[in-house]
Amino acid sequence: MPLPESAAVAAELRAATGQLTRRVKREDRMPVGQVAVLGALDRSGAMTTSELAADQRVRPQSMARAVGLLMDQGLITRRAHPTDGRKSLVELSAAGRALLEEERGRRTDWLAHAIESELSPEERELLARAIGLVERLAAH
């Protein structure tokens, strides 16, 4: 069982990172769910619609609709599964990759501006040092 102070820090960190994540996502110009699908394909590579649904924790029918919308926009492509002829894989298209990078750039730009305008030089240095700690926690 964690020490009481660790539990308090954990609760505050979880709440703060959640607030920051939600705020940064408001910079997206396309629906968050669509950006999430593009991001999953970028991180994991080609996947079936069922795998994407499991990854995003949505029903396969919902993911099939999202995949259809992304295909209609030319952001993903579909190809035959290499070992199972009944399945197909979806993957990022060049346009999807470019749009995802644009969305990520917009998020990064907003966050960089917020860091620059809200934090003192000492606070920016402290934040930079804390990133390694957060990464260690995420890898635990």
CB atoms < 10 A from the CB of 38, how many? 23
Tokens linked to 22: 């939600």
Integer Cα distance of 108 and 87 in angstroms: 36
Rounded to the nearest angstrom, the gap between the alpha carbon of residue 78 and the centroid of all alpha carbons in its chain is 21
pLDDT of residue 109: 97
The sign of the CA dihedral 20, 126, 103, 135 is negative
**What is the span of the domain harbouring residue 63?**
4-139
pLDDT at 45: 96
Contact in structure between 46 and 90 (CB atoms under 8 Å): yes
For the domain that residue 24 is a member of, what is the CATH number?
1.10.10.10
Predicted pLDDT of residue 2? 59
> Is 1's pLDDT higher than 70?
no
How does pLDDT run across 51-82, given as a tens digit for each residue?
A: 999 999 999 999 999 999 999 999 999 999 99
Q: Would you place residue 85 in the very low, low, confident or very high pLDDT band (cuts 50, 70, 90)?
A: confident
* Mean pLDDT along residues 112-121: 97
Q: For 27-44, what is the mean pLDDT?
A: 93
Structurally, the chain folds into a number of domains equal to 1
Report residue 76 as tokens.
């993903």
